Amino acid sequence: MSNRETRRALAPEDLAYIAERARALDPYIVHPWDRNRLWAAVLVAQMSATTRAECEAVAEARGALQILDAIERHFVRRE
């Protein structure tokens, strides 16, 4: 096993917990955790955003999702 594989220390449940704690995702949290449904909710909000504040909030949510995707790619254990 490579060093990269041994560094992965998070379980999928940990990722769900991180997503629930991200304030930028508060309006979009999907229970139970479902990455695809969460992305879909944020993209729907982006398409319906009309004010600058709504657009900025959606941009923050997209950024949080991109960070979660990076965490998942690099640190979540695959069994």
Alpha-carbon distance 12 to 48, whole Å? 30
Residue with tokens 């041994």: 6
Q: Residue 28: its pLDDT value, please? A: 86
pLDDT bucket at 32, cuts 50 / 70 / 90: confident
pLDDT of 77 over the 80 cut: no
Token pair of 28 as six digits: 């979009």
10 Å CB burial of residue 65 (0-12, 13-18, 19+) is buried
More confident residue, 68 or 78: 68
More confident residue, 33 or 37: 37
Return the closest-CA partner of residue 21 out of 29, 32, 13: 29
Q: Residue 56: its pLDDT value, please? A: 97
